[in-house]
Amino acid sequence: MVEPTTVFAFCIITTAIMAAFLYNLYRRNNIHKINVKTTVLITGCDSGLGYSFARHCNELGMTVFSCVFNENSLGAKDLKSRKNTYVLRLDVTDKKSINNLQANVNKIVTNQQYDFLGIVNNSGVMVFGEFEWLTEDQIDNQINVNFRGVTQVTKAFLPLLRKYKGRIINVSSHCSMVPLPTLSIYAGTKAAIDAWSSALRMELDKFDVKVITLTPGKCSREQT
């Protein structure tokens, strides 16, 4: 069994790396400057890494579009209390929800004359269980959230990303490289994210849009 302190350490290290990475992007790029006019969109901000990412980016001085599935979650409630943070509902499996989010964010970015840094595709679900035991709904939900949802959110925001030469950061998992029993579908979706990101990186290079994969270890869902 993994010790709680080990899980906590993984989460702290991953969040610190992510925050440092985003910050260094600005320092190296003359186009983007850190201030309240700089925006980033992060999915899966109800709890865990997404919530931590949203807090850290906000504390760095950015304006954050924090996407949550449940607007009444503890993470959503805390983020709503922070300045320069938009808490927006998003269901990555619902095309209408994605389109509404894109239209809303595009309108805000344009009207407020924001600089759009990019998106962090963090939404994900994990169901433990041997493959034979999983229901069709459990299988489909992991595929739709972890892979299809990520591709659909990214596709919706590509015009904005090209315009501002932004970044796409896809949160993968160590399971994509070291698949584990009882996590076969989850590992498969994360391996798909890695492969898709590698191809997309080459496709978007001509637009100066960067594609990055972040591969964290095990993290606590409630980590803040």
User: Rounded CA gap, 70 and 219, in Å?
Assistant: 20
Which residues does residue 40 pair with via DSSP β-bridges, in sequence order? 64, 118
Count the alpha carbons within 13 Å of 41 in the hemisphere toward its beta carbon. 29
Cα 9 to chain centroid distance, Å, stands at 20
214 touches 11 (CB < 8 A): no
User: Rounded CA gap, 70 and 135, in Å?
Assistant: 24
> Cα Rg for the chain, rounded, in angstroms?
17
Task: Indicate if 186 belongs to the active site.
Answer: yes
DSSP 59: H
User: Rounded CA gap, 70 and 29, in Å?
Assistant: 35
User: Which pair of structure tokens corresponds to residue 139?
Assistant: 């299988």
Residues that are catalytic = 186
